[in-house]
Amino acid sequence: MKRTAIVLLVLLASVLVTLALYEDNGYVLLSWGVWSIESSLVLVILLLLLALVITVAVWRLVTGVWRWPVQLVEKYRRSRAGRDRDVLAEAFLHCSRGEWSRSGKLLAARGEKSGHPLAALLLAACSADREGQVERRERALAQADACATDDDARTAVGLTRARLELGARRHEQALAALNGLPGKAANNTLALDLRREACVALGRWQELRELLPLLRRRRAQRPEALAELTVTVYTRLMREAMQQAEAPRLLALYQEVPRALRSHPEIVGCYAQCLAASGNEGEAAAVLQRTLRRDWHEALALQFGTLSTDDPGGQLSAAQGWLRRHGELPSALFVVGRLCARQRLWGKARHYLEAAVRAEPRAAFYEELGRLLRDMGEHTAANEAFAAGLARALRHDQGIGQRPEPLIDS
């Protein structure tokens, strides 16, 4: 559209000039000595324009010929630089196809000539690591360290070294590489995730506990994975506190768990187990009872049935409440039967345990029923229950059973 408008304006100007000169095309007289030239003004203007065009064309031709060698050298240099840059792309493609040897040879031959020698050295280190060439990997990393002139480059080298050490299960060396990262790079999202992996492998739960807020703030993991890690960290720390008989620390750890996870079955179960091991079975039962009042968890219910409290009647009433709220679940029937047996309510205990076995014939249910029958003096029936439980357990061990048997302490 713009070009069309320009052409139209030029044509209009030409027409106007032609009409103006048609009436009077002017007169030019050039005199030099005995020579004189007479012509119209239009012709002189046309000749001057033609001379200008020829002069410009000749000037461009001369300068082009003069610059041609320089341009040829520059073109060759750009072509060679392009080929060197393609080394990284070609080496990366070899790595993506698992051709580590070809990638390493290519980088060793032309990697330093590429436009990104640091990237070439790091890729060479990764290729050497996958080939199991430790010396070549360390040499490439050392050269990369020498090439790293700023914090960003040193961070890239440190993270690459940490990832390679983790891949080789050298977790201490990986942590050492992460600890050597410059400045704020230690809180880099990838650095945090690599530190998490190394600490989990080494069982450094206290260090992970301090790392959790940073992982959460930087979103270094998916929320589900972070929640699972949080549960693992606090359950391990609570068990350590239980082994060291540190009741105040156990309570502090439980209260430190994020509120959204404080009712998690594993957290509650571990806390209750630690309380029971330290002699606070009544408090452990209260913790389990509060959780089971909100949500049903079979493992917690079975754990509740193993506790001996100062109020066995209240404990039995709480378990019977599960049957009213959730129906006759096999695990609830089992726990109620077990608590009845503990209070020597033999008839009720037998009723509930037989109902549990009929609903779901687990080995643990048969075992508890066998104990009850033995205590009642019915040895033949007790032996039959023990045999049925043993057969059930053997079927499960051989992979025949479809449901895993819960571990219930007697």
pLDDT of the residue at 286: 92
d(CA 39, CA 30): 9
Name the phi and psi angles at 29, rounded to 5. -125, 120
- For 17-30, what is the mean pLDDT? 62
Angle of helix 117-131 relative to helix 41-96, nearest 10 degrees?
A: 20
Write out pLDDT tens, residues 348-390. Answer: 999 999 999 999 999 999 999 999 999 999 999 999 999 998 9
Terminal Cα distance for the chain, rounded: 93
The percent of residues above 90 in pLDDT, for the chain, comes to 37
pLDDT of the residue at 186: 80
The percent of residues above 70 in pLDDT, for the chain, comes to 77
Predicted confidence (pLDDT) at residue 140 exceeds the cutoff of 70: yes
Predicted confidence (pLDDT) at residue 237 exceeds the cutoff of 70: yes
d(CA 40, CA 329): 118
pLDDT of the residue at 16: 61
pLDDT of the residue at 97: 67
Q: Which of 198, 192, 195 shows the shortest CA–CA distance to 220? A: 192
Structural class in CATH, domain 329-405: mainly alpha
Per-residue confidence band for 124, with pLDDT thresholds at 50, 70 and 90: confident
pLDDT of the residue at 347: 92
d(CA 20, CA 363): 117
pLDDT of the residue at 193: 92
- For 161-177, what is the mean pLDDT? 90
d(CA 146, CA 35): 81
Predicted confidence (pLDDT) at residue 121 exceeds the cutoff of 60: yes
Domain extents in the chain: 235-310, 329-405
**105 CB-near residues (< 8 Å, 6+ apart):** none
Predicted confidence (pLDDT) at residue 11 exceeds the cutoff of 70: no
Per-residue confidence band for 77, with pLDDT thresholds at 50, 70 and 90: low
pLDDT of the residue at 130: 81
Per-residue confidence band for 70, with pLDDT thresholds at 50, 70 and 90: low
Most confident region among 86-100, 143-157, 195-209 by mean pLDDT:
195-209
d(CA 200, CA 208): 8
- For 51-71, what is the mean pLDDT? 76
| 90 burial type by CB count under 10 A (0-12 exposed, 13-18 middle, 19+ buried) | middle
- For 145-156, what is the mean pLDDT? 84
Per-residue confidence band for 399, with pLDDT thresholds at 50, 70 and 90: very low
What size, in residues, is the chain?
Answer: 410
Predicted confidence (pLDDT) at residue 241 exceeds the cutoff of 60: yes
pLDDT of the residue at 85: 56
pLDDT of the residue at 28: 65
